[in-house]
Chains A and B, each alone.
Chain A
Amino acid sequence: MWKQLLRRLMLAVPVLFLVSLMVFSLIHLIPGDPGRTILGPEATPEAVRAFDHRLGLDRPLPEQYLHWLVRVLHGDLGRSLVDGTPVSLLIAQRLPATVELAVGALLLATLVAIPAGIVAATRRGSWSDAAGTFLSLAGLSLPQFWLGLLLILAFAVRLRWLPASGYVPFLQDPGQNLKTMLLPIVVTGLRETAVTMRMMRSSLLDVLGQEYVRTAWAKGLSPAGVILRHATRNALIPVLTTSGLQLAGLLGGLVITETIFVIPGFGRLIVDSILNRDFVTLQGAVLVSALLVIGVNLVVDLLYTVLDPRIQPGGKGARA
């Protein structure tokens, strides 16, 4: 098992390399020279030329990429093209808020969706099932931007219960942090919750029809015992898969949440660096995201084995 894990970690290296090469090629395919874009409409051509020359942006692209790669291999993510801030510092400043959003969204999804999914599956056709279905459809179809603004208008402008924005690091002031993060987490986690709930419901229904569950009923186990101990555990495996996959897809939604709630997060860092053609920051940020996704997938694989010891990491049922 450990050998398998090590193999997966080794595989991450070429993946990261390819990701960085792809990002570099894509950003240079977008029209717009970094110097011109960063300096903006008011810069004279000579100022742009001086800027490009100072940062080596007038060198051939392969050379620029190699220069970046060599530095990264030495553990230096480089400096932002915009103002020379170390990229590692930018990432370190932005990561906590985004991780909190992602973790909060996942927690919300887990704590709300899994029980709701279980209830919906065990009482199929009841009003609670219908309500759950309605809510999850709403969660999937309401645009985040609109919902976020509406929640701010309700809770921050009208009721004044929560601030409209103003991120405070958790370690600095936990209370204030949770207050400001509550709405963003709800908006971010809504889709997750909806998807996880639908998944939990269908997966559990599937499991409840299996032979061994009927055996368990026949043995006279209590409903709670059957559902929670036997069925749910197996039903969680596909749910876990979607949760892992969703986390990778979360980044897109995070940009919207971070914009509405003015959170200095990772999503905005990535979007800003694309708009600025700041490929150094972008590649650093994307590398870190890719690492996170790889890490999450690894953890998901490990959790499979916890839920079902027959599954081998890297073997059947695992995702690379």
Chain B
Amino acid sequence: MRPRWGRTAALGLVVAALLLAGCGGGGSGGATGSAGNGAAAGAGGTSSGGGGTITIGINADPPNLDPSGSTALVDRYVQNSIFDKLYDVDAQLRVVPVLAASLPEVSADGKTYTIRLRQGIRFTDGTPFDADAVVFNLKRYMGPESARRSELSFVQDVQKVDPYTVRIVLKEPFSPLLYTLTDRAGMMGSPSAIEKEGANFGQHPVGTGPFLFESRIKGDQIVLVRNPNYWRKGRPKAEKLIWKVVTDDNVKVVNLKAGQLDLIDTVPAQSVGDLQSDSGFRVDIGPGLGFQGIFLNVNQPPFNNVYLRRAVDLAIDRAALVKVVFGATADPGYGPFPAGTPAAAASGSVPGVDLAKVKELLAKGGHPDGFSFTLKTAASPVNQQVAQVLKSMLAQAGITMNIQQVEFGTLLDDSDKHNFQASALGWSGRPDPDGNIYAWLHTGGSLNNSGYSNPQVDRLLDQARAVGAMSQRVDLYRQVMEIEHQDVPYVYLYFPKNVKAYSARVQGLVNVPDGIIRTADLSK
């Protein structure tokens, strides 16, 4: 508690009120002042100091920069510039060592991973990076307060072998572990900073990464500056990174065009062509990891009837949907694994629309003249367009879909509580296929909002976690998806692509499928 702020704010209020008063009527016209009370901290917007300040527009304010407590995708954007991870994925989604010196040695039973570490690296507060630091971080991520706990639930113990070697012992084989270490569970924070800051580590994050945290104005911007002692020679190239929160997509595009932003993380489909035809800008469209679609509540009418679920699934022309709403910024999808991800082959090929078959299914389901249901969807322009297109497609099959727009927080809550007939919610995706399917289709999975339960699917999903070779896993996922397309607890619709637009002066952008901008090579 800092009463000083309270007083400053109160003083500001008085000044503000007086200023407002001064303009209430008489038009004194004296003060154009802001009641700046000296409390506004942080760097001034976009006044670039030259020498490569790169301003990146992001969709939302990162709620938590501490990898241990972080649950939002947007956190990872900024975290990846502050924290190095043990491993990373490259543009082809291959695992590459970062703070680890090489890929881990995995024991024959798949239960022990031995990781050798790079030597001579320090955190930006001077703390040495070594086996102790890795054990400290991983144990913290396994703790009861950590949002990473479920990702590491198969880990029995983390041990220091020697100053630069760590051993991870699993309760049972868990093939997704390696990819887990390429994300937040693999981010290494400075143990001394974590001990000092405790719960506030997210407000003063310290890693070994290319940039260090400088300042932040909540809800507006985060400023990072170059780490002068970064262990990768000649990097980072930029002096400063400013992450600017711009919630509206159109506003983001005009700010890119006006030069206030150098790079934007998403581009509305209708602006892509415009930016592509402008020589001052580049648009990079690459594959993504996530999928979008609709949960069908299998435990209440109308979708406790499997024939009606199948009818909806087959009445949608996914290619047309993507063409109308997304153009080049998405692919039609019929499964949880987008093209370019390791298990892409397990997603089924997108079916064509067969209205005769839909009619047959409706008749089997006891509704030969169609039926009606309500779709809950988030109130954003894109979601609205998708819903409208679906509505007209389903209408051709005699199915009436009512659209209910709800605010995102409400949609999450309703989906958790199974309080819906159909709910449009997607997933940002993970590089390991397990992260795109297990919690969605496994009985009692944390993302299984449909309430779906099928023992055979559960068995196949568990098996896929235990086998090591990806080819075997893909085969198991294919079997899962064959069952899913018969049961349809979730209607897969499309795979959003990663679309980045940036000023032609920005060099060194690599579009990795996870959508996260690797900033060490960026320059302007």
Interface residue ranges, A against B (CB under 8 Å) = 30-33, 36-47, 50, 54, 75-77, 80, 82-86, 88-97, 99-100, 102-104, 106-107, 110-111, 114, 149, 152-153, 156-157, 160, 163-173, 176-178, 180, 236, 239-240, 243-244, 247, 259-260, 262, 264, 268-269, 272, 275-277, 288, 291-292, 295-296, 299-300, 302-303, 306-307
Contacts and interface: CB of A to CB of B under 8 A. Distances in A.
A150 B46 CA distance: 21
A131 B73 CA distance: 51
B144 to A, nearest CB: 7
B411 to A, nearest CB: 9
Contacts of B244: 165, 262
Contact of A303 (B13, B24, B257): B24
A240 B259 CA distance: 41
Interface size class of B (residues with CB under 8 A): 35 or more
Interface of A: prevailing SS: helix
23 contacts: A30-B410, A31-B414, A47-B71, A77-B6, A83-B63, A83-B64, A88-B5, A96-B12, A103-B23, A103-B31, A103-B32, A103-B34, A110-B25, A164-B260, A166-B47, A168-B44, A168-B47, A177-B34, A275-B409, A295-B13, A300-B25, A303-B25, A303-B26
A172 B39 CA distance: 11
Contacts of B8: 88, 92
B23 A264 contact: no
Nearest to A34: B409
B36 A170 contact: yes
B412 A40 contact: yes
Interface stretch (B215-223, B347-355, B459-467, B484-492): B215-223
A50 B145 contact: yes
Given A39-B147, A92-B9, A299-B17, A32 B260 contact: no
A244 B17 CA distance: 12
Contacts of A153: 254
B345 interface: no
Contacts of A244: 24
Contact of B147 (A47, A89, A168, A169): A47
B202 interface: yes
B127 interface: no
Contact of A163 (B72, B260, B407, B416): B260
A40 B25 contact: no
A39 to B, nearest CB: 4
Contact of A170 (B16, B34, B259): B34
B3 interface: yes
B47 A176 contact: yes
A163 B46 contact: yes
A36 B260 contact: no
A160 B29 CA distance: 28
B469 interface: no
Nearest to A76: B1
A41 B217 CA distance: 24
Given A31-B410, A165-B255, 16 more contacts: A31-B413, A36-B409, A40-B72, A42-B73, A50-B144, A83-B202, A85-B203, A95-B9, A95-B16, A103-B16, A152-B251, A157-B254, A164-B258, A291-B13, A295-B20, A299-B20
Given A32-B413, A99-B19, A260 B251 contact: yes
B150 interface: yes
